[in-house]
A = this chain, B = another copy of it.
């Protein structure tokens, strides 16, 4: 075998990925409060300087890791049944917000509540792309006749997701399956302006 010349771009990408993976893993294992840039650097096998070259704070590292993880963790599915698909989606979000995987998102949410520098990125990078995916799923439901064509998608977002975060911030416990189905049925009724002809 002949030794290949090192590829700086590939090595850089590998460090980048290792840092994000280390941040999520450490946060899940030890809690966001115990996470440090030093700890991430050690786990990822990079220098602190490398991390600070790309991110200004541990919150920013975890935010980017969450952004990359979210598409895998909380996808929107389309089986043609809106209630079933929202149950799948909300169950995935609940899992993402529950121990043992809750620490990264809860930590970033907590930091951003007190740090305007992090609040903007939480809105722009983390939640805005997810809201767009949600709206696409709702529009497909409208095309398929699963959701009323006049349903207000801002209200849909507020009512489907709001309960999870009210429960998160006040430690009220997340909905269990039978109650979650009831909640979803209520939201779909709220979004149906008049008695549907389908029922």
**CB contact between A107 and one of B113, B123, B179, B195 (< 8 Å): that residue:** B113
Whether A165 is near chain B, meaning CB under 8 Å from some CB there, is yes
Mark contacts of A100-136 with chain B using CB atoms, 8 A cut-off: 1 yes-contact digit, 0 otherwise.
0000001101111111000110110011000000000
Kindly identify, within residues 137 to 184 of chain A, every residue whose CB is under 8 Å from any CB belonging to chain B. 152, 154-155, 157-159, 161-172, 175, 179, 182-183
Whether A48 is near chain B, meaning CB under 8 Å from some CB there, is no
Q: Is the CB of B169 within 8 A of A162?
A: no
Q: Is the CB of B158 within 8 A of A166?
A: yes
Whether A8 is near chain B, meaning CB under 8 Å from some CB there, is no
Whether A191 is near chain B, meaning CB under 8 Å from some CB there, is yes
**CB contact between A114 and one of B106, B159, B167, B179 (< 8 Å): that residue:** B106
Q: Is the CB of A169 within 8 A of B168?
A: yes
**CB contact between A164 and one of B115, B166, B172 (< 8 Å): that residue:** B166
Q: Is the CB of A169 within 8 A of B171?
A: no
Specify the chain B residue showing the minimal Cβ separation from A158: B163
**CB contact between A110 and one of B113, B171, B186, B191 (< 8 Å): that residue:** B113
Q: Is the CB of A31 within 8 A of B114?
A: yes
Q: Is the CB of B155 within 8 A of A190?
A: no
Known A152-B182, A186-B190, A190-B189: A112·B163 in contact at CB below 8 Å: no
Return 16 A-B CB contacts under 8 Å, by A number.
A33-B115, A109-B113, A110-B111, A122-B171, A127-B170, A154-B179, A158-B166, A159-B163, A159-B190, A162-B163, A162-B167, A165-B169, A165-B170, A166-B166, A168-B169, A189-B189
